[in-house]
Structure 1
Amino acid sequence: MPVIFRWEGIRFHFFSNEGNPREPIHVHAQRADAEAKIWLYPEAAIADSEGFTRRELSQLLRVVEQNKALIEEAWHGHFR
């Protein structure tokens, strides 16, 4: 489970086995009491979540948009 970065106590990561065939590029945001899966394209969007408030989900979307290049680089570097 490669961790890409941390923000406000939330770990942004993906799993080494992201399905077969592999799912489109996305990132998981996780803290002890909450979890979300966020698609990157066509724009950042919540795929699934549990435990985050609506406000927190909006913040997560902004953070993912701001770090889209970093997430993509980590994803493509891992799955080469």
Structure 2
Amino acid sequence: MAPTVFRSGQFRFFFFSREEPRIHVHVAHPDGEAKFWLTPTVHLATSMGLSSMQIREAQALIETRLEEIQHAWHSHFGA
């Protein structure tokens, strides 16, 4: 199961259920995908196929909607 948190343009931001407990979000795009850690600060964990510009755009979207993502994480996985 991979619940979607939100979509923006061609980006989809989501979680994988039953994955590691450290808070993070996955990003899917037709060109590739990435994973970002959310703590202690938002930073790229892995990326495949995305350009530097797409990674920066995804990170900016995450930073703008960080509280929403964290709330969705805690609602899905529990505190």
Which residue, 50, 53, 60 being the options, matches 1:52? Answer: 50
**Secondary structure at the residue paired with 1:60?**
helix
Deviation at 1:38? 0.4
CA deviation map 1:28-80 (0-9, x unaligned): 00023300000111111110000110111111111000010000000000112
Aligned-partner Cα distance in 2 for 1:61–1:9 = 14
With structure 2 as the length reference, what TM-score do the two structures score? 0.91
Seq. identity, %: 39
Moved over 3 A (4+): none
Residue 62 (str. 1) matches residue 60 (str. 2): yes
Q: Tell me how many residue pairs correspond in the alignment.
A: 77
- 5+ residue gaps, structure 1, are none
Query: Map of 1:19-30 to 2, 5 A cutoff?
Result: 19=20, 22=21, 24-30=22-28
**Which residue is 1:71 aligned to?**
69
For residue 75 of structure 2, what is the amino acid of its counterpart? G
